[in-house]
Structure 1
Amino acid sequence: MKKLYSFFLGIVAIILLLWGIGVHIESQSKSSDSDKLVIYNWGDYIDPALLEEFTKETGIQIQYETFDSNEAMYTKIKQGGTTYDIAVPSEYMIAKMKSEHLLVPLDHSKIKGLENIGDRFLNQPFDKANKYSIPYFWGTLGIVYNTKLVKEAPEHWDDLWREEYKNDIMLIDGAREVMGFGLNSLSYSLNSKNEAQLQEAVDKLYRLTPNIKAIVADEMKQYMVQNNAAIGVSFSGEASQMLDGNEDLRYVVPSEASNLWFDNMVIPKTVKNKDAAYQFINFMLRPDSAYKNALYVGYSTPNTAAKALLPKEVQEDEAFYPSEETMKHLEVYESLGQKWLGLYNDLYLQVKMYRK
């Protein structure tokens, strides 16, 4: 009986030991998770020194992962299985993710520094009252041109149709972008849901095709820097990198109308360290952090306090900080819905396939 009793006590001791080890491992795991922040962002879209500074201030380690398109980011988060505490999607993707319940509503009582963001960058149609997102960077769609390869600089969308630009223009490969400036050139909204206006825009874009050298994506930067085209239609962030690589390049935003885009910070449904996510949002809302980030990345900051710290020539550069008058005519892409987005895509494909 004593042996049986001793055997029983031994079994109990082993069970308790294993339970203790399990609790310890779980505790260590939770501790590890609480000291780590996983950020999902575009490549080369933050000053690495800021990540180090955040860790030094808070003790929270950062795991930084990158994506190269909104669609890739969306798919990864929707699939789940991977922890992301912070992500930085664009405005149209924020609207999509919000509608599919892939984002966590923000607790504004935990956010400090939102007053540093300019009013024009808040309360946008894709996220009313900023319930799900906080502005990170913003920009425009415009025209990049090479001063040595054009006789007269293009300043308006209509200028792209000049005969002197034959086979000299590169367009970014995007239905909303190309259809958008086609509509804008006719004084229509780039969010038009009028079939007659859309067809008029397509007919006008057909007449542009002799001037189109190529419709490309990221490779436009290399082509423009290497003087392989006189003109390119692209985003301001891409244009900034082009200008850094070639002193003869300039960027202009047509004052009559264009696109205003946003990349905002969000907390995805995959979040595990919500407290650290809020700490990071607050850290990036600080003027000193946003200033350093804008200097490093070269994109336009929505943080007015940070902008005031930038060199005067940067603040006054209307290519990247357009005038109040130009800003009045800029539009954010709205969610068109499946029917109209499908029509935009079909019409854009017709333009791409058109040969005169």
Structure 2
Amino acid sequence: MNNKKAPTSCRFSGALLTAACLLFPSTATHAAETLSLLNWEEYLSEAVIKRWEAETGVKIQQVYFDSGDKRDEVLAKPDHQIDITLSERISGDRFGDRGLLDPIDLKALPNLKHISPRWSDSCGAYAIPYLWGTLGIAYRADRMPVAPQSWADLLKPARSNEPHIIMMEDHEDILAGPLLYRQHSINTSSNDELKAAFDMLTAQSRAVLTYEYAITSLRSQRYQDKADMALAYSGDQQVLNEVEGIEGEPWRYVVPKEGTLLWIDCLSIPAKGSKKELAYRFLNYISDPQIAVLNAAELGVATPNAAAKALLPAEISEDPTIYPTEAVLQNSQIYEPRPMQATQTRRRIISALINAHDAR
């Protein structure tokens, strides 16, 4: 899921902001050690990082990726120096079964008791739940007279020959929209269904500015004057408004009526990591309700930590773009393991799509 983070957010209630400000000593702590985290860019609260470094003297060094494929490339390298990695169930199980991730020792993580039963088994044997959300459409409310309601608004846009949409380079998530629109399973291995999804994306491509994560793209300031829709994750709209620095928060987010992908991000410990004790300490730290609530509030992303959610102000916990209604959750799908051949087909689709777009 996601490049999702804003600076200390205006979404904090006064009480949360006060608590955050009390977390840090007035003098900086010199970090004698470093813990390396493979993560989406800015997907960990600065307040959480500062408190960890102040309490432990251990610096958090983040290595960033902007797609699941690129993360997997890093983890597959024999010489990587990663101590903790963001993951999800399918890649976590795959890398764990290959011996590249350690099975999680649940006894070493007492704070996992705070995870909601709904999410406690969502990450498998090699990871713990971190954050969760949906896939949908981010859009500029100030540039679009009518808010998108359907995947068709993104995939079959009225301005079909005018580049104004940002998609993403991800062989899984880019196909979810067309599959959901056609009422197919996002886990399909059917060549016919995948080809129909590819054809829909090909027809859309003349309206696409770039196949790049929206936050990465707009941060580069290349398309800020043109982009008014993007394939996005819940919470991204908050960051897009921060990136562009626009008054009035014109970027909004909607889950299309045909349904959505329900994703959960997890945290894993690579088998070759040299700082296992510190890694477990960090996983337990991030699962502490007081820490999890700061992280979720600053990022504007849903936490699986039930005790942390109870501490959130109503403006966040009742925001349906962050915590969708039960009806939306019931009309959602999750990724499931599939044959490698189907995954390779998906990768060929995204490569063909991007190559054809770049060749124009």
TM-score by length of 2: 0.77
Calculate the aligned-residue CA RMSD, in Å: 2.9
The structure 1 residue matched to 2:333, chosen from 319, 331, 334, is: 331
Residue 44 of structure 2 aligns to which amino acid in structure 1? I
Residue 109 of structure 2 aligns to which amino acid in structure 1? I
Aligned ranges 1:245-260 → 2 under 5 Å: 245-246=245-246, 247-260=249-262
Instruction: Say whether residues 1:175 and 2:177 are aligned partners.
Output: no
Match of 1:284 in 2: 286
CA-to-partner distance for each residue in 1:243-275, whole Å, 9 max, x for gaps?
334321111112422222232111211233333
Match of 1:6 in 2: none
Would the aligned equivalents of 2:130 and 2:267 in 1 still touch at CA under 8 Å? yes
Distance, in Å, in 1 between the alignment partners of 2:149 and 2:75 is 40
Aligned ranges 1:223-238 → 2 under 5 Å: 226-238=224-236
Task: Count how many residue pairs are aligned between Structure 1 and Structure 2.
Answer: 317
Aligned ranges 1:178-327 → 2 under 5 Å: 178-217=174-213, 218-220=216-218, 226-244=224-242, 245-246=245-246, 247-327=249-329
Would the aligned equivalents of 2:111 and 2:284 in 1 still touch at CA under 8 Å? yes
- List structure 1 segments (4+ residues) > 6 angstroms apart after TM superposition: none
The structure 2 residue matched to 1:121, chosen from 119, 122, 130, is: 119
Deviates further, 342-351 or 67-76: 67-76
Instruction: Say whether residues 1:87 and 2:123 are aligned partners.
Output: no
Percent identical among aligned pairs is 26
SS at match of 2:172: helix
CA-to-partner distance for each residue in 1:164-187, whole Å, 9 max, x for gaps?
565232222223222221111011
Query: CA 1:215 to 1:79, structure 2 compared with 1: closer, same or farther past 3 Å?
Result: closer
Would the aligned equivalents of 2:49 and 2:60 in 1 still touch at CA under 8 Å? no
Residue 158 of structure 2 aligns to which amino acid in structure 1? E
Match of 1:50 in 2: 48
Would the aligned equivalents of 2:179 and 2:193 in 1 still touch at CA under 8 Å? yes
Match of 2:130 in 1: 136
Would the aligned equivalents of 1:38 and 1:85 in 2 still touch at CA under 8 Å? yes
Query: CA 1:45 to 1:80, structure 2 compared with 1: closer, same or farther past 3 Å?
Result: same
Question: 1:132: how far off?
Answer: 1.2
Deviates further, 74-83 or 87-96: 74-83
Distance, in Å, in 2 between the alignment partners of 1:164 and 1:78 is 41
Query: CA 1:220 to 1:189, structure 2 compared with 1: closer, same or farther past 3 Å?
Result: farther
Instruction: Report the structure, 1 or 2, having the larger helix content.
Output: 1
Instruction: Say whether residues 1:112 and 2:106 are aligned partners.
Output: no
SS at match of 1:136: strand
SS at match of 1:113: helix
Instruction: Say whether residues 1:39 and 2:32 are aligned partners.
Output: no
Match of 2:58 in 1: 61
SS at match of 1:279: helix
Larger Rg: 1
Would the aligned equivalents of 1:146 and 1:227 in 2 still touch at CA under 8 Å? no
Distance, in Å, in 1 between the alignment partners of 2:310 and 2:222 is 31
SS at match of 1:121: coil
CA-to-partner distance for each residue in 1:266-317, whole Å, 9 max, x for gaps?
1211233333322222211111000111233333222122122222111122
Query: CA 1:37 to 1:164, structure 2 compared with 1: closer, same or farther past 3 Å?
Result: closer
Distance, in Å, in 1 between the alignment partners of 2:80 and 2:203 is 47
Residue 93 of structure 1 aligns to which amino acid in structure 2? S
SS at match of 1:261: strand
Question: 1:91: how far off?
Answer: 4.0
CA-to-partner distance for each residue in 1:42-89, whole Å, 9 max, x for gaps?
2333234434433554x4634523222455554444444555432223
Query: CA 1:77 to 1:165, structure 2 compared with 1: closer, same or farther past 3 Å?
Result: closer
Residue 194 of structure 1 aligns to which amino acid in structure 2? S
Instruction: Say whether residues 1:344 and 2:339 are aligned partners.
Output: no
Residue 166 of structure 2 aligns to which amino acid in structure 1? M
Deviates further, 179-188 or 71-80: 71-80
Distance, in Å, in 2 between the alignment partners of 1:172 and 1:76 is 19
CA-to-partner distance for each residue in 1:311-351, whole Å, 9 max, x for gaps?
21111221122111111222233343331112123334454
SS at match of 2:176: helix
Unaligned runs of 5+ in 1: 1-34
Distance, in Å, in 1 between the alignment partners of 2:71 and 2:157 is 39
CA-to-partner distance for each residue in 1:83-141, whole Å, 9 max, x for gaps?
543222344432331132111111212221223222332323xx4xx321111122222
